[in-house]
Amino acid sequence: MQTELFINGRVHRLEADARTTLLDALRHHLGLTGTKKGCDHGQCGACTVLVDGRRVNACLTLACMCDGSEITTIEGIGEPGALSPLQSAFIAHDGFQCGYCTPGQICSATAMMDEIAAGWPSHATGDLNAPVTTSAEEIRERMSGNLCRCACYPNIVDAILEVQG
Amino acid sequence: MTRHRKIDHPDDDNRLDSMAQGVLGKPVDRLEGPLKVSGLATYAAEARPSGMVHGVLVRATITKGRVTAIDRQAALALPGVLAVITDPRMVRYSAQGMADKGPKAGPQTVDYHGQPIALVVAEGFEQARHAANALHIAYEEEPAPVDPDAVTPEMPQAKQKAQGDLDAAMRDAAFGIDSTYTTPTLMAAAMEPHAAIAEWDGDNVTVRAALQMLASDRKQLADALGIELERVRLLAPYVGGGFGSKLGIAPEAVAAAIAAKELGVPVSVALTRMQEFDITHRRSESRQRVLLAAGADGVLTGIGHEVLVSNLPDSPFSEPVTQATPFTYQAAHRRIVHRIARVHRSCAGSVRAPGEAIGVTVFEAAMDELAEAVGIDPVELRLRNIPDREPGTGRPYSVNRLGDCLREGAHRFGWSQRRAPRERREGEWFIGMGVAAAVRVNMLIESRARVTLTEDGAKVETDMTDIGTGTYTILRQIAAEMLGLPVDAVEVHLGDTDFPPAAGSGGSFGAASSGTSVYLACEDLRTRIAERMGCAEAELRLQDGRASFRNDTRELRDLLAGEVLVAEGHVEPGDAEKQARQATWGAHFAEVAVSRYTGEVRVRRMLGVFACGRILNEKTARSQCLGGMTFGIGMALTEAVEHDPRSGHIVNRDLAAYHLPSHADVPAQDVIFLPDRDGFAGPMQAKGIGELGICGAGGAVLNAIYNARGVRVRDLPATPDKVMP
């Protein structure tokens, strides 16, 4: 079936099997392999992308559900020579080793920072009436959907704190 | 030209300390960092050769027996389906690391539940996945044991060791510990699932795959396919984690190559996460009995470590649980017992620090029991039992920094604040501290690299892999240091068997082995530059692209005058590894909070102090240790594979049910490296680092739980039900 996707500011017309997930559409059909497949079941977060500004697991989203949506993948966050502050901070703090979960971590953190700025509370938020502040504890709670087996967690938290702290 | 060195003698020249560039050891950012953070680093499944089609492996639903028939009609009738492949050369599981031959072939004979038995290939991935479910498979099933405790285990003579009379030592001991611990099956669970894309050009095949050790993987694949080595090229420029799971060639790579040949188009086969659990090597579960006999002062007189692990019949690997036990602590009377239960669970193999990961963890928990029994501080107990020479053999240690690590760690962690069990409370939470030693054997493996020097800089080429370990960056730093170049002037190309064969990533030997090959190649280049400067290599100073000897300084560019210098470095292990016991050392400290109401354990902080020779990059080395320590958190608290008691099948075969530590589980962690040099490790005095962090880390967490709550968990992991008193 045909789907129109707006990815990283460009229009892509996708002709694909109706069962194609957004993740496989990106990886198999559009050559955007920066979005990673770690589990295909929404358990690891490696496929996190932004759909209309919100973070979603691309593996749990059918491509055809995104017809007309604005999608940002890691390739749209920044590229070598023009990295986003968060991407640069990940390098400086060694927020990755193998790098496979990294695009998902960065997309997730990008949206998470917006969620904090918008005042969304989390399980780690103490006072629901006070403004939400960025802390290591908030970041750990909100980023727990993104697994990293190399376990660069402390470095990722430091990278995010540097950008938003 | 090739500069070859066999490490027959310790090299204490510490040449790298007198190089001028000053970049080695520094926390240099990863070379490939910009590609990884922008999604441009391409992993195994991320090439798209023209005409590529998709294969999906089909798994056995019996534990042992034979496939008698496969009805393919329904699958082949589906749109896009190209073939159902059951070639007898397809393999049942992965090769063990560094094997010369391919793993066991013949997928129609089933050895374990979940074994691949066929490959369905279709034009589209969704079509192949659907068709894989449409096969009708008939089996002839045989009964098979799957419970390691229910079979009579093998006891290979060569794996049993005894010295003195441990039973008498236990009888005569002022204090004795005789405790049995169990650890569950554990998985590497690298974030990138196994995948391969195979493409033939005539009789030559190129396979892009998720692999750790290309030189031996190439041999295994050539053997599995029945073709000459020279016809196989492997590519693995970026690997999304390994932790042992990608050491050997695996079923998807063999199947992709066979299918690509049969269909005449490139074929991609990627394991699903559930297949990753089914098919890749697991770390064997273990039952470990630890016996400790001590005098009233805590000085050990006897050590026993008796283990039961499992694997498939005929598999050459058995988890070497007791690997560090013979040389960590002194005692006159000693016994190692190693039993292997032959069961039809999936194949067991190397997972990060095979042996010590679970062996040191359990042994260190038992040491905590002894400290409690004797009534002395756990750090002090360990310090009193550090041997002067390797027990049993009488060999010296190359270096032994265990005591230094324990003392430094105790100081930095505030160990003196530790109180008796159950004494420290903060509201709902009991707070406790734990300590454990970290020990891991150190190895060097034959390795080669080529370094090319031009007037624009240097290029390093080797088939070594970077699985997140920092190889790209440390090889760049070594070459930059040796050749006096800014790091940006050194390119590094890895993961291609067209390059000289390297040790590969495994056993923590990658950095020192491949690094030394680069060092040797650079030493050869230095010699040739020195000739042009009219001095000896040792007198040459190279810095920022300039060569100096006494008052004579010249631009490297002018010395080369357009010429390209190429050198190959080749290192081999030699007698040095027999002359001394080589190991890496460390100490783990953990503080946990345990809920009095739920038994939930929160790790509040962790410190690891490590001595592993020269540190090549402070930043990437630290990250390796953080990763190991976090594996320890998982082992202590959450990770366990559940096998179906009827079939051996892994029931919790995904990341929702097999619990890796997540962000919220991991607190602030500190890593400290003690300044260290080990000449027995070679001319760089550098040793392994990737596995040391996991060895014992879980023990520190378990011991902290005891200190917090007074509960000794001997059946890992320490889930809340076991922690509730």
Print the domain residue range for B214.
44-144+188-279
Mean pLDDT on B383-403: 97
Kindly report, residue by residue over B631-641, the tens digit of the pLDDT: 999 999 999 99
Burial of B131 (0-12, 13-18, 19+ CB in 10 A): buried
Domain A85-164 CATH assignment equals 3.40.50.10860? no
Among candidate residues B197, B60, B57, the one with its CA nearest the CA of residue B131? B57
Mean pLDDT (chain A) is 97
> Is residue B105 located within the same domain as residue B239?
yes
pLDDT at B453: 98
B515 within some domain: yes
Same domain, B223 and B362: no
Interface test with B, best of A22, A77, A97, A143 (most B CBs within 10 A): A97
Q: What's the gap in Å between the CA of B276 and the closest CA on chain A? A: 9
**Closest residue in chain A to residue B54, using alpha carbons only:** A28
Residues B622 and B569 in one domain: no
The answer to the question of residue B32 being in a domain is: yes
Q: Using the 3D structure, point to which of B279, B311, B341 is the last residue of a domain.
A: B279
Answer yes or no: do B400 and B506 share one domain: no
Q: What is the mean pLDDT of residues B44-71?
A: 97
In this complex, the residue of A39, A83, A100 whose CB is nearest that of residue B38 is A83
Q: Which of B627, B240, B698 is nearest to A154 (CA)?
A: B627
B427-445 pLDDT, tens digit per residue, is: 999 999 999 999 999 999 9
A138 touches B at CB < 8 Å:
no
pLDDT of B239? 98
A151 interface with B at CB cutoff 8 Å: yes
- Residue carrying the six token digits 């530590």: B661
Kind plus residue range of the DSSP H or E element containing B530: helix B510-533
Within-domain flag for B179: no
pLDDT value at B144 more than 90: yes
The two structure tokens encoding residue B522: 């650079």
The tens digit of pLDDT for each residue in B640-673 reads 999 999 999 999 999 999 999 999 999 999 999 9
B239: distance to nearest CA of chain A, Å?
Answer: 6
Do B493 and B374 share a structural domain? Answer: no
Are B453 and B538 members of one domain? yes
Res B708: pLDDT? 98
Cα B584 to chain centroid distance, Å, stands at 14
List the structure tokens of B471.
């190889």
**Number of domains chain B contains:** 3
- Say which DSSP state A27 is in: I
pLDDT score at B457: 98
Provide, as residue numbers in chain A, all residues whose Cβ is less than 8 Å from the Cβ of B192.
36, 38, 98, 100
Q: Which CATH number belongs to the domain containing residue B463 in this structure?
A: 3.30.365.10
Taking residues A28-40, report their average pLDDT. Answer: 97
Residues 634-653 (B) with a CB less than 8 A from some CB of A: none
The number of beta carbons lying within 10 Å of the beta carbon of residue B147 is: 14
- Give the one of B54, B272, B664 whose C-beta lies nearest to A40's C-beta: B272
- Beta strands B53-59 and B116-122, pairing class: antiparallel
Boundary (domain end) residue, out of B541, B561, B578: B578
**Cβ–Cβ gap B241/A147 under 8 Å:** no
Q: Find the mean pLDDT for residues B448-468.
A: 98
Based on the fold, state whether residues B458 and B383 are members of the same structural domain: no
Whether B191 and A154 lie within 8 Å, measured CB to CB? no
d(CA B713, CA B432): 14
Query: Is B549 a member of any domain?
Result: yes
Q: Do A38 and B629 touch (CB under 8 A)?
A: no
For residues B130 and B119, the answer to whether their CB atoms sit within 8 Å is no
Report residue B1's pLDDT band, with 50, 70 and 90 as the boundaries.
confident
- With beta carbons less than 8 A apart as the criterion, state whether B484 and B523 touch: no
What ipTM does the predicted assembly reach? 0.99
Chain A contact for B241 (CB, 8 A cutoff): yes
* Kind of pairing between the strands at A2-7 and B204-209: unpaired
Name the helix (H) or strand (E) containing A70: strand A70-72
Among residues B556, B578, B600, the one where a domain terminates is B578
Q: What does the mean pLDDT of chain B come to? A: 98
Q: Is the domain A2-76 a CATH 1.10.1060.10 member?
A: no
Q: Residue B619: its chain A contacts at CB < 8 A?
A: 94
pLDDT tens, residue by residue, B320-359: 999 999 999 999 999 999 999 999 999 999 999 999 999 9
Q: Which of A33, A87, A146 sits opposite B46 (nearest CB)?
A: A33
How close, in Å, is residue B631 to chain A by CA atoms? Answer: 8
CB atoms within 10 A of CB A11: 8
Confidence category of residue B725, pLDDT binned at 50, 70, 90: confident
Residue B476 and residue B544 share a domain: yes
Average of per-residue pLDDT across B607-626: 98
Q: Residue B151 has what pLDDT?
A: 98
Closest listed residue to residue B694, CA positions, set B353, B359, B390, B314? B353
Considering the domain architecture, whether residues B436 and B526 belong to the same structural domain is answered as no
Question: In terms of domains, do B102 and B226 share one?
Answer: yes
Cβ atoms of residues B26 and B480 within 8 Å: no
Q: How far is B721 from chain A (nearest CA, A)?
A: 23
The verdict on a CB contact (< 8 Å) between B626 and A152 is: yes
Establish if B321 belongs to a structural domain: no
d(CA B393, CA B536): 41
Enumerate the residues of chain A whose CB falls inside 8 A of the CB of residue B52.
none
Q: Do B655 and A96 touch (CB under 8 A)?
A: no
Quick check: is B156 in a domain? no
- Does A1 contact chain B (CB < 8 Å)? no
Enzyme catalytic residues of B: 691
Residue B451 counted as domain residue: yes
Mutate to test the interface with A, among B191, B669, B694 (most CBs of A within 10 A): B191
Residue with tokens 């009579």: B152
pLDDT at A165 over 80: no
Q: How confident is residue A126, by pLDDT bands cut at 50, 70 and 90?
A: confident
**Binning pLDDT at 50, 70 and 90, where does residue A71 land?**
very high
Q: Which of A78, A87, A147 sits opposite B662 (nearest CB)?
A: A147
Flag if A101 and B620 touch (Cβ within 8 Å). no
